Amino acid sequence: MAGPAGAVELRRISKSFGSVQAVKSVDLTLDAGSFTTLLGPSGCGKTTILRMVAGLETPSDGEILVNGNRINEVPIHKRNIGLVFQNYALFPHKSVFDNVAFGLKYRDVPKEESRRRVAQALELVRLPGMESRLPSQLSGGQQQRIALARAVVIQPDVLLLDEPLSALDANLREEMRVELKKIQRELNITTLFVTHDQEEALAMSDTVVVMSEGESEQQGPPEEVYNRPASAFVADFLGYSNLLEARVLASNGATTALELTDGVNVNADSANGHFGHAQVKLVIRAEKIGIASEWDGSNGDSILDGTVADVDYLGVTARYFVKVGDLRLQVIGTIDEHPFREGEAVKLRIRPRDCVVLGSA
């Protein structure tokens, strides 16, 4: 039975290469028109998943469905998939027109219709009138746009993007990130994006899937995955986090008192984790910790005395390493006039709502 146009479902998908299991029983649903990102370090299985959806790899187990139809055995040339690689994979001896029209040629699209659709695709990626150019006559950013035009001109059910921005310099990468998301929304095309860049994942995605060692560690909207990490790996991989062992002291229902080390206690919102263990692991994002010379009142917040040990000056912000008793905490704060100096005494404010508890340490 057909499903929603463009919807993709992975059911307990696995892939082994000899004795190495690259992907381990991953479940994932891509709603029609959504932008989903597979995020993780090299070797975590994210590109292998994308290649299985594309038809470049065959699953060892599980099912892949597009529009409700199983496609495990469907060859790549019969899957209506648009694919953009990291290196663009343009034909150097072919013109821009021939590169973009490549997929249409093998779909027996009439010449006049091909010309119309190529022109539309080039207009979409803001490169109109470039049909006669060769790839060697284009910048890296323009080549990336041509690769994207070639992928969307066939009007695919699903668009697959394998680290397409990683070869660009930082400024162009940010520009193309915005442009790519704009095009995806305009076309309303179901998209699976692979990256190891957390900023790309958070900025572009409707859903982020954090991968580790072939498994899905956490799936959800970017703000949920970032602010409520489900594991120490997710907390550590995304942003700057303090991962601390703690002991549960007491709870009044709304807040739970935790001891981090001798004499250093914080209060955590009881809704933010699992307090069924005496020993737990606490996550506090570096930018969630307030840093100042003084704080007026606590309102249930934890106020800790510390000393700045190291400073990374980042322009608008600074990352501080602050000694609090036996602890060394990362703190990211905006800079008003000048950053705090090494050796300077500071006070840290930690709000209960910013303390996420992961369970036993």
Q: Nearest Cα to 195, choosing from 42, 82, 30?
A: 42
159 and 265 together in one domain: no
198 and 252 together in one domain: no
For residue 311, list its beta bridge partners.
320
Domain of residue 154 covers 8-232
343 and 200 together in one domain: no
Here the tokens at position 157 are 């059910």
> pLDDT by residue for the chain (361 residues), tens digit each?
455 666 899 999 999 999 999 999 999 999 999 999 999 999 999 999 999 999 999 999 999 999 999 999 999 989 999 999 888 789 999 999 999 999 998 888 999 999 999 999 999 999 999 999 999 999 888 998 999 999 999 999 999 999 988 878 888 888 888 889 999 999 999 999 999 999 999 999 999 999 999 999 999 999 999 999 999 999 999 989 999 999 988 887 788 889 998 778 999 988 777 666 688 899 999 999 999 998 876 678 999 999 999 999 988 999 999 999 999 999 999 987 789 999 999 999 999 999 998 876 4
Q: Does the residue 1 lie in any domain?
A: no
Domain CATH for 164: 3.40.50.300
66 and 148 together in one domain: yes
Here the tokens at position 130 are 């470039």
Q: Does the residue 2 lie in any domain?
A: no
Domain CATH for 269: 2.40.50.140
Here the tokens at position 239 are 């942003």
Sign of the alpha-carbon dihedral angle for 63, 69, 73, 74: negative
249 and 210 together in one domain: no
Question: DSSP label at 157?
Answer: S
Q: How many domains does the chain divide into?
A: 2
**Alpha-carbon span 125 to 193, nearest angstrom:** 18
Q: What is the pLDDT of residue 276?
A: 67
3-state secondary structure of 242: strand
For residue 98, list its beta bridge partners.
none
**Edge-to-edge order in the sheet of strand 207-212:** 81-84, 158-162, 190-195, 35-39, 207-212, 215-220
**Alpha-carbon span 33 to 10, nearest angstrom:** 16
281 and 186 together in one domain: no
Report in angstroms the alpha-carbon separations of 131 from 28, 57, 100, 111, 179: 38, 33, 9, 14, 20
Q: Does the residue 302 lie in any domain?
A: yes
Last residue of a domain, one of 173, 203, 232: 232
95 and 12 together in one domain: yes
Contact between 232 and 243 under an 8 Å Cβ cutoff? The reply is: yes
- Put residue 292 in one of left, alpha, beta given phi > 0 → left and psi -120 to 50 → alpha: beta
Going by their DSSP bridges, the two strands 190-195 and 35-39 should be labelled as parallel
Instruction: Please give the full DSSP string across 254-322, using - where no structure is assigned.
Output: SEEEEEEETTEEEEEETTSB---SSEEEEEEEGGGSEEES--S--TT-EEEEEEEEEEEE-SSEEEEEE
Sign of the alpha-carbon dihedral angle for 275, 278, 283, 288: positive
Contact between 334 and 317 under an 8 Å Cβ cutoff? The reply is: yes
Determine phi and psi for 162, rounding to 5 degrees: -100, 90
Q: What is the pLDDT of residue 41?
A: 94
**Edge-to-edge order in the sheet of strand 69-70:** 20-30, 8-17, 61-66, 69-70
279 and 257 together in one domain: yes
124 and 168 together in one domain: yes
Q: What is the pLDDT of residue 225?
A: 96
Contact between 33 and 182 under an 8 Å Cβ cutoff? The reply is: no
For the whole model, what pTM was predicted? 0.90
Sequence-ordered strand ranges (E) for the chain? 8-17, 20-30, 35-39, 61-66, 69-70, 81-84, 158-162, 190-195, 207-212, 215-220, 241-251, 255-261, 264-269, 279-285, 290-292, 302-313, 317-324, 327-334, 345-350, 356-357
